[in-house]
């Protein structure tokens, strides 16, 4: 069982780490919010997504590509909108709400994006192969949280530097711009995939 855990961890981690848009999303969130709420939201989303992958199995890879890409695009654009509407100077009463909001926003940004991606398909395949869904789920969740933690701490380090050198308004505009870019990139992918069929 330990071998299956580490096989799942390594396979999902390597599959997810290369060219994954979620790394950028998590890093952007980390430039705006504290690390702990992002980690909580991220962990919840990864547990749910990998749970679905393990339970549903390979059927998740058969979801229509346009549907998956559309949900991802809407997720990026929705997070961009929320960040756009956020004030640059939070009020004292908003501190508790900001923590909850950061966790919920992180959960939504991760949970509603990239369904049927390489990590989920890999976890689904490994669960079907080894017939130990809990161990595969645990390995996959740990891999995803490791990836997200790296991105979050990278973003948190950037946040510390930015808060000393850059205006909060510029940070917000840059974060919104990057999320809009990722959303538009996903829309272009939808259009290109639609043209191929």
Q: How far apart are CA 181 and CA 45, in angstroms?
A: 23
pLDDT of residue 8: 82
Number of domains making up the chain: 1
Dump pLDDT digits (tens) for 40-86: 998 999 999 899 888 876 565 566 767 766 766 776 677 677 767 76
Domain limits for position 46: 2-196
Q: Encoding tokens for residue 192?
A: 């290109």
pLDDT of residue 115: 73
pLDDT of residue 137: 93
């Amino acid at each position: 069982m330990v071998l299956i855990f580490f096989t799942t961890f390594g396979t999902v981690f390597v599959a997810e780490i290369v060219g994954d848009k979620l790394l950028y999303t998590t890093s952007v969130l980390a430039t705006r919010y504290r690390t702990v709420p992002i980690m909580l939201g991220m962990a919840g989303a990864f547990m749910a997504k990998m749970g679905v992958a393990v339970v549903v199995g390979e059927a998740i890879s058969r979801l229509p590509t346009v549907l998956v890409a559309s949900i991802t695009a809407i997720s990026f654009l929705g997070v961009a909108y929320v960040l756009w509407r956020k004030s640059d100077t939070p009020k004292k009463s908003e501190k508790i709400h900001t923590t909850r909001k950061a966790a919920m926003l992180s959960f939504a940004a991760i949970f509603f994006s990239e369904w049927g991606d390489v990590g989920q398909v890999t976890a689904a395949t490994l669960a079907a192969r080894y017939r130990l869904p809990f161990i595969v789920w645990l390995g996959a969740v740990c891999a995803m949280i490791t990836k997200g933690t790296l991105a979050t701490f990278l973003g948190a380090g950037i946040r510390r530097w930015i808060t000393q050198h850059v205006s909060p308004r510029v940070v917000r505009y840059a974060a919104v711009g990057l999320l809009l870019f990722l959303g538009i990139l996903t829309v272009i992918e939808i259009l290109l995939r639609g043209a191929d069929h």
